[in-house]
Amino acid sequence: MKIAICDDERIFTDIFREKLEMTAEKCGIECTVSAFLNGAEMISMLNRFDAVFLDVDMPGLSGEETAEYIIGSEKTLPIIFVTNHDDFVFSSFRYRPFGFLRKRYIDSELEDIIKRLDKYLTEIERCYTFNSHNKLISVRLNDINYIEVYGHETLVHTANAVLTTSKALSAIEKELSEYGFIRTHKSYIVNTRYIFSVERNSIILSNGENLPVSRTKLTDVKQMMIKFTGAN
């Protein structure tokens, strides 16, 4: 696991780097950590890393601006926001964060983040395989935006294609629920990672698509978003 830390406070960065390395070693995870004091320097080397711990409050290129650049880049990196602002959690979902780490609770929260990150990086290549017009199709879970029932078919939406299967949505829900997919409506299952915001009657995806959400599902969706990012 190759991790980048980006924080403008040198003393904190040095301490945090040591804590990261010690926690990873304690968990039996091989880990190398590189530290940066500004976002501009780090984003020039994004391809070297598997994940980023990003301070929210930085002068110059802010944490949010750096996150904006990362999610628009070719390489999708898990972003863990490091912050003391609890109210930043929900407003930051538009950056699709992997998680949050509160500076004052690093000692109690870091181990869980590291373990989740290691599990995620291990499973990121996991694929979902289904039958489509008598052919077996295999798609990376991370590439699936959402799945919907349309007429007599089930449509699997990715960034670049729409694939069809006759598999029931209820069966797909059981298979994918442990990987961050949630039933938002009787006709839709959504990959939590791509939810930009939750409105009263709809979900906005990071690509701008608007999907319906059942009133009875609103609380479940919000709780899943919190669980998925590790926010609390």
Please report the pLDDT score of residue 232 as a whole number. Answer: 46
Whether residues 96 and 136 fall in one domain: no
CB 80 within 8 A of CB 116: no
φ/ψ region of 60 (left if φ > 0, alpha if ψ in -120 to 50, else beta) reads: left
**pLDDT confidence of 31, banded at 50, 70, 90?**
very high
| Mean per-residue pLDDT over the chain, rounded | 87
3-state secondary structure of 97: coil
Q: Tell me the average pLDDT across 1-10.
A: 92
Q: Structural domain of residue 147, as residue ranges?
A: 127-229
Last residue of a domain, one of 101, 123, 145: 123
Whether residues 85 and 165 fall in one domain: no
Whether residues 214 and 132 fall in one domain: yes
**pLDDT confidence of 32, banded at 50, 70, 90?**
very high
Please report the pLDDT score of residue 126 as a whole number. Answer: 85
CB 42 within 8 A of CB 77: no
CA-closest candidate to residue 73, choices 100, 52, 99, 101: 52
Q: Is the pLDDT of residue 157 over 60?
A: yes
Last residue of a domain, one of 71, 92, 123: 123
- The more confident residue out of 164 and 229 is 164
Whether residues 107 and 174 fall in one domain: no
Whether residues 30 and 136 fall in one domain: no
Whether residues 90 and 166 fall in one domain: no
Please report the pLDDT score of residue 219 as a whole number. Answer: 86
CB 52 within 8 A of CB 6: yes
Measured distance CA(47)–CA(204) in Å, rounded: 29
Whether residues 86 and 149 fall in one domain: no
CATH code, 8: 3.40.50.2300
Question: How many domains is the chain partitioned into structurally?
Answer: 2
Measured distance CA(16)–CA(215) in Å, rounded: 42
- The more confident residue out of 45 and 227 is 45
Q: Is the pLDDT of residue 74 over 70?
A: no
Q: Is the pLDDT of residue 69 over 80?
A: yes
Measured distance CA(152)–CA(202) in Å, rounded: 23
Whether residues 115 and 55 fall in one domain: yes
Whether residues 163 and 145 fall in one domain: yes
φ/ψ region of 17 (left if φ > 0, alpha if ψ in -120 to 50, else beta) reads: alpha
Last residue of a domain, one of 89, 123, 157: 123
Q: Tell me the average pLDDT across 96-111.
A: 87
* Torsion sign (Cα): 227, 84, 63, 87: positive
Whether residues 54 and 94 fall in one domain: yes
pLDDT tens digits, one per residue of 171-197: 999 999 888 899 999 999 999 888 888
Whether residues 6 and 52 fall in one domain: yes
Please report the pLDDT score of residue 46 as a whole number. Answer: 87
CATH code, 164: 2.40.50.1020
Between 25-29, 32-36, 179-183, the lowest mean confidence (pLDDT) is in 179-183
Assessment of whether the complete model's pTM goes beyond 0.95: no
